[in-house]
Structure 1
Amino acid sequence: MFTSMSALAATSLLGPSVAVPLSMPCSLKRTAAHHSEGLDTWNAAYPRPTRRLDAVMVFLSFPDAEPLTGPGELTADYFPATSRFFEQASYGKFRLRPHPLREWIRMPRASTSYAIRRDWNTTARSAYLRDALEVTDPRVDFSRYDVVYLVADPDAPGVDSDATKVVNLDVPLRADGKDIHRIVTVFEKHPPDRLVLAHETGHVFDLPDLYHRPADGRGDWDTYVGDWDLMGSQFGLAPDLFGWHKWKLGWLEPRQVACVRGAGRRGTRLTIEPLAAGPGTAAAGAEAATRAGAPEGGPGWAGFGSGGGTKLAVVRTARDRVIAFEVRGPAGNDRAACSQGVLVYRVRSEAESGRGPIEVVDAHPGSGDCWEDSVYGPLADAPVALGESFTVPGEDVRITVEDRTASGAWTVTVSTGAS
């Protein structure tokens, strides 16, 4: 059914490249870093979400517990919410279609025998995957699916909800004539963390973790990006993917990315459309927009999803680094955002997943917002607001947010050598 394997939760082969038409000088080169933020080529070891992808969802029970929740209820925990998130984030370019089994499949050993935990022992994890594939292969044609979710009985005594993750395989499994390079192992409680499956699915598409894991496991995990990207936190108030990620995944065209070069002190003037998907988002985000300080009767946020205007501006600052600018606010997947404006962040293509490949730059250090709801209040008000100017610390790059057009786009000037 499958070849011998070694499951590595934090290791992935660099894999073959597929040339993509990213000719802009601001597109960083992909490096050997795990989930590198370079996007000059696509790592063909990962499925690219620019079409419909099919996902099988398998439900695993254990001899030491009788499931208290049915497969239908667990499916509803994740779908259609996960598919909707990606459909909105991709402007309709990507559709994730789930295929859940309707029955529990019994594992051969007790849940406690697999020593399931966040930092899972490789031997125990490999045994779990081997047993899971053995019992499910007779009932699942894996050749039909692009994504595999193994969902464990959340009430089994040996199941640890903190162990949910993507397992990358340095030697792929072989089932039904297909190589399986990675599997999403789901151990979430019922109901699960919000958008947790969308976060893990992001790894299936070569996106890195953007949170900061303290060495002792204590303290803030969300100091790098706060609420501003799903790969930082599934609980974020503004979890839509960064424009950089949308460019990497193929959801933004190169023509929608402005590469700012030679701006000088006089600067380059740009009109940037909000990043959020458009149709229907104005109504959904109306209340949040008011809370975020949107001007009464001002331009709405709808209608930008599939538009062809600029959605991301980039300044190259080093061989492996850029500063990125995008407009974020309460709409679409970000409808709960409590501030709006031009979000500024650094991207490093050589930084490993979990080690700060993207860091939001706080335009309002020393303040914060939405302290009761934000995953990291100091960054909740990070965007540069209308009428403000901000110099990126240490980079000598300055942005001035001048105006908003009648259609809701933002007019900004990016200058360099401003100090």
Structure 2
Amino acid sequence: MFFYSLLFLFLPYTLSVVCQDLAPLTVDTSYYYRLTNDLTGPTKALDVLPDGSGGLAIVDLGPSSGQFWRLTQLTNGPKYALSTLYLGDALSLDVVNDDGNASTHVHLDTTRKDSGQYWTLTPAANGSFTLSNDFTGLDRPLGVSIEESKPVLGSNNYSGKHWRLAKISDVTGNDEIPALKHVVKGHLNEQGNYDDAHPSIPGTWKAVMVFVDFDDSHARDTDNQTAIGQQLMGNGSLAELFFNQSYSNLNLSIDVRSDLPWHTISGAWRRDWGNNISGYNAAAMSSFTTDEVDFFAYDVVMIVPPQNCGADRSYESGNVTVGSRNVSSVITVADDDYTNWYTMAHELGHSLGLPDLYPYNKTTTADRHLWQGGPWGLMADDYQSRGFVGWHRHRLGWLATERKTFVKAPTASGITKRTLLTPLDGHYGTSLLAMDIGNTSKLLVAEVVQPLQGANATEWNQGLMVYTIDSTVRSGYEPLRLVHNIAGVPSNRGAAWQTPWQVGSTMTYAAEHINVTLKVEQQIKDSYFVEVRYDVVLGFTGPTEFAVPVELIEDPNPDSGAHH
């Protein structure tokens, strides 16, 4: 029996199939199955090597999660992807392409739409079936090498090609992450799910970009609005970022009104934006007639002044009153947007309801190492981060249910969860792990770290990031706080960089009546296999009950979350 065993036993029984003119089999995909071979007999099964290689072997039957095979039907007919409970659907049975369509070796590799991962089950007269893939073809089905006790692809006329399926257990979905209590009342917060201010997840996010200048700082003849619009949008990269980060769920559409002239706003509206940002926004939009722009037809309004006019920091404001109506979100563009289009991505994050993760009282580059959330994630640092953290992708409804899971505290101490965490930028597997820490407004969260632009363009993208998320903490006061790995990174980079937990690391988070230990057991390609253990202490009353009414806490400074 391999090391990665399950926490339950099983009672397999043979799958009954009906063969009609040797048409490919159709399998009930709601079960996990054991794969046995007629040559090695019913006491041996196909299993995954526990060394992180993705290799396979024929071994004795046992409760190993690598023997729990899941068949996922693909779109083009009765073809299936084969994955395991051990490594999840992020890795699928594939051909090692070492000799083209004459290749003989198979393994588990990153799930993708490759022909070597499209498998057909063809019935045989004795109730077994052959297993072939689209890459090597029907004439080279999967068989067994007796000498090496492993599966191989070979010719169509040998006894080891006959396989059988036996049901083991139902396929169960991931547990839903609960909504958090105590939401800070205001424009930006860290509520667990999409909130009342944003009742539906947008499929298309419509924005309009208009251009204004000032009495004492007019646009130059060389300030071409079309070129400026492209610059601020990263020449298409901004829309691509949101499309990719949302897993194709959000289409950002920006209407650049370069057909309109620069509109001059009367009055001293430059560095004094912070004193009356709402007044600036209203004055800017009021300078356009309703025939020119219908601002209320858009989700976001972007107000763009000339570069180097004195506006040095961008802002995002919610519910700006123009006349007798409200515009839901207004972004005031400044010089930082001109030099880095990721700043616009940060401000659009605010438009979607995401708070600032960096602290308002520590905003210089020199003190990034003091930030509780570090420079990780676009809502923390848009100069070094290149994507949204997993919690924010969950909050916005972008991360699919099957790609995130919740671990509820057990009734007694013990190992509660073992799973493979996959990178957020992929499309398969569990990428977000949220853990109960006995608090209805706070969770412990783990995800694979995303690439972070460091010194000399170094990308820090190895290991796991572990943090708490707290819905009682308002924007700019660090609602996301890292659990630092003090031994993880040289100390001269500061605590904020001591984030990734590598293979062999063990992290324990001590809550009031619960200790949660997360162990990074092994790296498998770009994913990490982790174990979650709970130790309950005196006073523990059982798993946290999250089904409670939301309590709103007034934000004493509601505008504090409106700036970058």
TM-score (norm 2): 0.56
Q: Quickly say closer, same or farther: Cα 1:207–1:109, change in 2 above 3 A.
A: same
- One-letter code aligned to 2:271: I
Residues 194-209 of structure 1 mapped to structure 2, 5 A cutoff: 194-209=341-356
Please give the per-residue CA displacement for 1:201-225, whole angstroms capped at 9, x wherever unaligned: 1111010000012279796256122
Q: Would you say 1:275 and 2:424 are equivalent positions?
A: yes
Identical-residue share of aligned pairs (%): 24
- How far residue 257 of structure 1 moved from its aligned partner, in angstroms, is 1.9
Structure 1 residues 53-62 or 26-35, which shifts more?
26-35
- How far residue 252 of structure 1 moved from its aligned partner, in angstroms, is 1.1
2-side partners of 1:216 and 1:151: how far apart? 24
Aligned to 1:314: 434
Query: Which of 208, 214, 238 is residue 62 of structure 1 equivalent to?
Result: 214
2-side partners of 1:370 and 1:275: how far apart? 28
Q: Would you say 1:31 and 2:183 are equivalent positions?
A: yes
Q: Quickly say closer, same or farther: Cα 1:370–1:26, change in 2 above 3 A.
A: farther
2-side partners of 1:152 and 1:418: how far apart? 57
Contact 1:402 1:411 in 2 (8 A): yes
Contact 2:177 2:434 in 1 (8 A): no
2-side partners of 1:258 and 1:94: how far apart? 22
Please give the per-residue CA displacement for 1:81-131, whole angstroms capped at 9, x wherever unaligned: 221221221112111111111144222415xx125346x113xx3442232
Please give the per-residue CA displacement for 1:155-205, whole angstroms capped at 9, x wherever unaligned: 33xx3212x101223x64358xx7412211112257323511111111110
Query: Which of 311, 317, 330 is residue 160 of structure 1 equivalent to?
Result: 311
1-side partners of 2:275 and 2:354: how far apart? 24
Contact 1:338 1:381 in 2 (8 A): no
Q: Quickly say closer, same or farther: Cα 1:109–1:194, change in 2 above 3 A.
A: same
Aligned to 1:150: 303
Q: Would you say 1:228 and 2:346 are equivalent positions?
A: no
- SS of the equivalent of 2:331 reads strand
- One-letter code aligned to 1:415: R
Query: Which of 305, 327, 330 is residue 180 of structure 1 equivalent to?
Result: 327
Give unpaired runs (5+ residues) of structure 1: 1-21, 277-303, 372-376
Query: Which of 492, 517, 521 is residue 402 of structure 1 equivalent to?
Result: 521
Residues 210-225 of structure 1 mapped to structure 2, 5 A cutoff: 210-214=357-361, 220-221=367-368, 223-225=371-373
- How far residue 254 of structure 1 moved from its aligned partner, in angstroms, is 3.1
Contact 1:338 1:369 in 2 (8 A): no
Query: Which of 386, 404, 412 is residue 503 of structure 2 equivalent to?
Result: 386
2-side partners of 1:367 and 1:417: how far apart? 28
TM-score (norm 1): 0.74
Q: Quickly say closer, same or farther: Cα 1:41–1:72, change in 2 above 3 A.
A: closer
Aligned to 2:255: 99
- How far residue 412 of structure 1 moved from its aligned partner, in angstroms, is 0.6
Aligned to 2:237: 81
Residues 332-371 of structure 1 mapped to structure 2, 5 A cutoff: 337-364=459-486, 367-368=489-490, 371=493
- How far residue 397 of structure 1 moved from its aligned partner, in angstroms, is 1.4
Aligned to 2:124: none
- How far residue 63 of structure 1 moved from its aligned partner, in angstroms, is 2.9
2-side partners of 1:336 and 1:83: how far apart? 25
- How far residue 325 of structure 1 moved from its aligned partner, in angstroms, is 0.6
Q: Quickly say closer, same or farther: Cα 1:48–1:221, change in 2 above 3 A.
A: farther
Contact 2:368 2:375 in 1 (8 A): no
1-side partners of 2:239 and 2:383: how far apart? 17
Contact 1:368 1:379 in 2 (8 A): no
Considering fraction of residues, name the structure with more strand: 2
- How far residue 387 of structure 1 moved from its aligned partner, in angstroms, is 2.4
1-side partners of 2:492 and 2:397: how far apart? 32
- SS of the equivalent of 2:195 reads strand
- How far residue 31 of structure 1 moved from its aligned partner, in angstroms, is 1.3
- How far residue 369 of structure 1 moved from its aligned partner, in angstroms, is 7.6
2-side partners of 1:139 and 1:185: how far apart? 19
- How far residue 135 of structure 1 moved from its aligned partner, in angstroms, is 1.6
- One-letter code aligned to 2:269: Y
Contact 2:304 2:333 in 1 (8 A): yes
Give unpaired runs (5+ residues) of structure 2: 1-173, 538-564
- How far residue 336 of structure 1 moved from its aligned partner, in angstroms, is 5.8
Q: Considering Cα pairs closer than 8 Å and 6+ residues apart, tell me whether 1 or 2 has the greater RCO.
A: 1
- SS of the equivalent of 1:32 reads strand
- One-letter code aligned to 2:383: F
2-side partners of 1:221 and 1:402: how far apart? 30
Pairwise CA RMSD: 3.1
2-side partners of 1:272 and 1:367: how far apart? 21
- How far residue 32 of structure 1 moved from its aligned partner, in angstroms, is 3.1
2-side partners of 1:189 and 1:36: how far apart? 24
Aligned to 2:293: 140
Structure 1 residues 396-405 or 60-69, which shifts more?
60-69
Q: How many residues align?
A: 348
2-side partners of 1:36 and 1:100: how far apart? 30
2-side partners of 1:417 and 1:206: how far apart? 35
Contact 1:389 1:399 in 2 (8 A): yes
Residues 238-317 of structure 1 mapped to structure 2, 5 A cutoff: 238-262=385-409, 264-276=413-425, 304-305=426-427, 307=428, 309-317=429-437
2-side partners of 1:342 and 1:250: how far apart? 22
Larger Rg: 2
- How far residue 416 of structure 1 moved from its aligned partner, in angstroms, is 1.5
Q: Quickly say closer, same or farther: Cα 1:230–1:267, change in 2 above 3 A.
A: same
2-side partners of 1:32 and 1:216: how far apart? 22
